Amino acid sequence: MKETIQTLFITSLIIMTFSSCEKPNQTDLTINFTHTVDAEELTTNSMIYSNSAGENYDVRTLKYLISDITLYAENGNEIILSDIHFIDISDESTFSFTVEDFPNNNYTSISYKMGLDTIKNTNNLHINESYHSAMAWPETNGGGYHYMKLEGAYNNDSTFYNTHTGGTMGGDYSFNNVDNISLTIDDDLGNVSININMEINNWYNSPNQIDFSSYGMGIMMNMMMQMDIKMNGITDVFSVDITK
Amino acid sequence: MKQLICCLLATILLLSCKKEGCTDDNALNYNPEAEVNNGSCQYYDVTPYNFITPAGFPDMIIPENNPTTLEGIALGEKLFNDPILSSNNTLSCVDCHIKNSSFSDPNQLSIGIDGFLGNRNASTLINLGWNSSFNWDGSAKTLEEQAFEPVTNTLEMHNTWENVENTLNSNSEYLSLFKQSFNINYIDSVHIVKAIAQYERSLVSANSKFDEFYRGEESLTLSELNGYAIYNSEQGDCFHCHGTLLFTDNLFHNNGLDSEEPFSDIGLAEVSNNPLDNGKFKTPTLRNIEYSAPYMHDGRFATLEEVVTHYNEGGHYSSTVDPLMKKLGIGLQLTNQDLADLVNFLKTLSDKEFISEE
């Protein structure tokens, strides 16, 4: 009898040890940044695209900042996933980030801001971040950071466009996107991904048709252009989907 | 009990016959002949060197395995100035990285120990602690890695590390300095490049007229201010590559120097093996640019006037030219006065104190 009790005790100890190794209800949440032109995955350095003004173009550089990425739950909880995330098309490691062991909840929407709002966009504020030198904007022109550098050639391979956006001279052209989602994290889903896609051609098409031959070069100090691009951005540049 | 006391006494007597000294081979004054440790051991004690981050600079990234010390910097400086690193004892680092030239070479190309010319202009060596890659083609990721290269390069010091190690290990002064700096008894190549890298990190230049202006201590002339405005506008558009107070983006660009392809020097592509990187070179800092002539990776331009003229003409087309060279074939269309103002602004980046201090 004594032996039986001992065996039982040891067995239950082993079971407890093993089961405590398993993390119950673990789900890792990955945010991916994807890029398309006319709904096809972006191919860089290839003049295969055309905007609504009928100009052919390629994409050689794409660097941008997304801020305040926040997930909202049905019960009112909010989780900030990233304060500022820098994406550089030449560096795959910037295309995603993962939050491990994401809390259970019914998530109903996600919001994310293109660029930096005035509070986040002051001179040298992000001086020790990897994007500081690539995105800084001269102090004499208002300081802070570019939101986006989208560059390439258009029409032929020796005329260039530089779509640089950002809040110059104190202007704030950042904009918030809110997308409804239906994501219930209540058990071990493994890895769930929320994909934030930038449809590059839509920066130039609607409601404002933007042609490179008129506005291709320097637009940072052109407030009208910054507004036009912002309006296009709000309209249909970003979209969200979920993969489980 | 009596026996025990006898034993103890005997041991003490025996011990007292043995030679005393420091028996710990980790100590600086380790005496291999000593048999009894008499507590005289002196240990490795270095003085940390605390960098003061200049106004507007990021924090310097220092490798965890090579903290900067006063002893390491002094040793690195000695090595930098010593021809002992070259195979025939004739060429030191400083011969091609001359202080008056902001640690670059005023010659277009540098001459190695065998009389051969190198193929690129020797880079300036200032504020390297804020660089994320080294050499014109970015072939080294750390300063330590970079320092390995010139010693064995056949066009430069043409030595072997085995030979360098043998030479330094037979030199009692270096043995003692490496012991003090790194607590090592055998000098190896890893510690040689560590010392040189420490010295190079200490070459911080951030006290130009422009810095004084930035700190509100000095004013710029109207010409310099106009040059600064052009520099920072999309008309001159210098800042996209030479931005921030480091005056470099730490990236690689093809700035339209040549139209004929294939290029005689493919630059970054040699390291990345990506043909899209053909003709891309690392953006150099513009600090002390007045002192670091000639210009470009191949030293093709002798003066700053030639450099601004190159950009003012818009540069030459090639398949990998950077989209930032957006006035290709058109030119910046700056007036002669604008160009002179731009050069005057560039000269405000000269740190006279750094160049002249002993």
Q: According to the model, what pLDDT value does residue A199 have?
A: 98
Q: According to the model, what pLDDT value does residue A12 have?
A: 57
**pLDDT class for A182, splitting at 50, 70, 90?**
very high
Q: According to the model, what pLDDT value does residue A57 have?
A: 97
Residues of B in contact with A217 (CB under 8 A): 234, 326-327
Whether the predicted pLDDT of B239 surpasses 70:
yes
Whether the predicted pLDDT of A2 surpasses 60:
no
The predicted model scores a pTM of: 0.89
As a whole number, mean pLDDT of residues B57-78 equals 96
As a whole number, mean pLDDT of residues B2-24 equals 65
Q: What is the pLDDT of residues B215-224, one digit of tens each?
A: 999 999 999 9
Better pLDDT: A145 or B1: A145
Q: Which of B244, B151, B255 is nearest to B206 (CA)?
A: B244
Q: According to the model, what pLDDT value does residue A15 have?
A: 53
Q: Which of A84, A86, A57 is nearest to A148 (CA)?
A: A86
Report how far apart, in Å, the C-alpha atoms of B152 and of each of B195, B212, B240 are: 17, 41, 36
Flag if B326 and A216 touch (Cβ within 8 Å): yes
Residues of A in contact with B249 (CB under 8 A): 133-134
Whether the predicted pLDDT of B264 surpasses 70:
yes
Whether the predicted pLDDT of A155 surpasses 80:
yes
| Interface contact A162, partner B, CB < 8 A | yes
Least confident interval from A79-88, A138-147, B143-152, B198-207: A138-147
Backbone phi and psi for residue A145, each to the nearest 5 degrees, phi listed first: -135, 150
Q: According to the model, what pLDDT value does residue B357 have?
A: 81
Bridge partner list, A69:
A82
Count CA atoms within 13 Å of residue A169 on its CB side. Answer: 6
DSSP string covering B51-108: PPPPTTPPPP---TTS--BHHHHHHHHHHHT-GGGSTTS---GGGTSBGGGTTB-SSS
Determine whether A145 is exposed, middle or buried from the number of CB atoms within 10 Å of its CB (0-12, 13-18, 19+): buried
Task: Answer for the pair A243, A85: CB distance below 8 angstroms, yes or no.
Answer: no
Chain A to chain B, count of Cβ pairs less than 8 Å apart?
A: 64
| Interface contact A218, partner B, CB < 8 A | yes
Tokens of B43: 């240990």
Backbone phi and psi for residue B29, each to the nearest 5 degrees, phi listed first: -105, 35
Backbone phi and psi for residue B197, each to the nearest 5 degrees, phi listed first: -65, -40
Q: According to the model, what pLDDT value does residue A128 have?
A: 96
Residues of B in contact with A216 (CB under 8 A): 326
Give the amino acid at B324.
Answer: L
Q: According to the model, what pLDDT value does residue B1 have?
A: 56
Handedness of CA B106, B110, B115, B116 (dihedral sign): negative
Average pLDDT across chain A, whole number: 90
Burial B11-22 (b: 16+ CB within 10 A, else e): eeeeeeeeeebb
Tokens of B211: 């810095």
3-state secondary structure of A107: strand
Which of B56, B234, B239 lies at the smallest CB-CB distance from A221?
A: B234
Report how far apart, in Å, the C-alpha atoms of A146 and of each of A150, A163, B55, B251, B277 are: 11, 10, 21, 16, 24
In chain A, helix, strand, coil percent, each to 5?
25, 40, 35
Task: Answer for the pair B326, A151: CB distance below 8 angstroms, yes or no.
Answer: no
3-state secondary structure of B36: strand
**Cβ atoms within 10 A of the Cβ of A91, count?**
11
Handedness of CA B34, B37, B40, B41 (dihedral sign): positive
Task: Answer for the pair A30, A189: CB distance below 8 angstroms, yes or no.
Answer: no
ipTM above 0.90, yes or no: no
Q: Which of B30, A161, B220 is nearest to A148 (CA)?
A: A161
| Interface contact A122, partner B, CB < 8 A | no
| Interface contact A127, partner B, CB < 8 A | yes
| Interface contact A233, partner B, CB < 8 A | no
Omega before B294 within 30 of 0, i.e. cis: yes
Q: According to the model, what pLDDT value does residue B15 have?
A: 52
Whether the predicted pLDDT of A19 surpasses 60:
no
**Cβ atoms within 10 A of the Cβ of A204, count?**
26
Q: According to the model, what pLDDT value does residue A16 have?
A: 52
Q: At what angle do helices B336-347 and B304-312 cross, to 10 degrees?
A: 130
Task: Answer for the pair A223, A180: CB distance below 8 angstroms, yes or no.
Answer: no
As a whole number, mean pLDDT of residues A63-81 equals 97
E strand residue ranges, A100-237: 105-114, 146-153, 160-166, 175-185, 190-199
| Interface contact A206, partner B, CB < 8 A | no
Q: According to the model, what pLDDT value does residue A168 have?
A: 77
**pLDDT class for B315, splitting at 50, 70, 90?**
very high
Whether the predicted pLDDT of B262 surpasses 60:
yes
Q: According to the model, what pLDDT value does residue A169 have?
A: 76
Q: What is the pLDDT of residues A192-218, one digit of tens each?
A: 999 999 999 999 999 999 999 988 677
User: Pairing between strand B36-37 and B20-21?
Assistant: parallel
Q: According to the model, what pLDDT value does residue B159 have?
A: 98
Task: Answer for the pair B209, B350: CB distance below 8 angstroms, yes or no.
Answer: yes
Q: According to the model, what pLDDT value does residue A4 have?
A: 60
Instruction: Provide, rounded to the nearest whole percent, the portion of chain B with pLDDT above 90.
Output: 85
Whether the predicted pLDDT of B256 surpasses 60:
yes
Tokens of A146: 């570019």
